[in-house]
Amino acid sequence: MDDIIKRNRETIKPRWLGLYSVESAKRKGLERPRQFLEINNDSQAISLLKEFDNIEKITLSEAIKRRRSLRDYDDAYLSFEEFSYLLWETSRVDEVRSNAVFRTIPTAGATNSMETYVFVNNVEELKTGIYLYLQKDHKLLLIKRTKEIVNEVNDSLLKQLRGAQVAFFFTTVAERIEYKYDFCAHKMIAIEAGHACQNLSLSAEAIGCGACAICAYDQEKVDRLLNVNGEDHFTVYCATVGKKK
């Protein structure tokens, strides 16, 4: 166990100067990994809102002051506008260039290693199920809907769903960032997910909600739930969002 702790500590304190002497995939001239997931049926995608006339305007200071982890949710629903707003502020893409993706959150070298999946439990106009957020287009694609989906999600989150209206799952496509940053990439993957979850927490305050960041989840079950392979594409962070009582 001591060896595992020591190895994990090393992961979050990589020797940056050593990166200059490493032949990364980029330096080798290898093809850059795709910046976005390939989607075959995006014609079924649901367009989300980009204007939010009914969202309360609060200051950043107010949002920061209000932000606390919320684990007891009201039995209500999110409006489609509120839900669109959460994804817009948390995970959208603002600009894409040939070798860079610029988002609402900082991503190391604009490599965009993160994808966002959401479990919709109680949102106006949407079926209950697992959705992939198509970040470049600000759209939503239903990827899984079963009779037991609520129980499956709650089980994968170790019984921490607690009736939340939605749950966010932040995943990493690791090779996108490893391509450029090699052994330094893995610390930055975790940091990127942290940036996203903070945006989510603050945005939740503007719609009368609270969020609870979750690191304690069943890795294999969550990855299977999202239909990611758990090797080069895997979950790194989760969060529930729900209305305050």
Break the chain into its structural domains and give their ranges: 56-243
Cβ-contact 91, 133 below 8 angstroms:
yes
Cα 118 to Cα 166: distance, rounded to the nearest angstrom:
7
pLDDT at 99: 84
- Average pLDDT (135-162) is 96
Instruction: Tell me which residue of 193, 167, 195, 197 sits closest to 73, measured CA to CA.
Output: 167
- Average pLDDT (104-131) is 96
Instruction: Tell me which residue of 88, 93, 86 sits closest to 35, measured CA to CA.
Output: 93
pLDDT at 41: 76
> Structure pTM?
0.95
| 191, 241, 36, 146: CA torsion to nearest 10 | 130
- Contacts of residue 175, defined as CB under 8 A and 6 or more positions apart, other chains included, come to 25, 33, 232
For residue 1, pLDDT beyond 80 = no
pLDDT at 187: 94
Q: Which fold, 56-243?
A: NADH Oxidase (3.40.109)
pLDDT at 40: 81
Single-letter amino acid, residue 220? E
- 225 or 57, greater pLDDT: 225
Cβ-contact 107, 36 below 8 angstroms:
no
For residue 29, pLDDT beyond 80 = yes
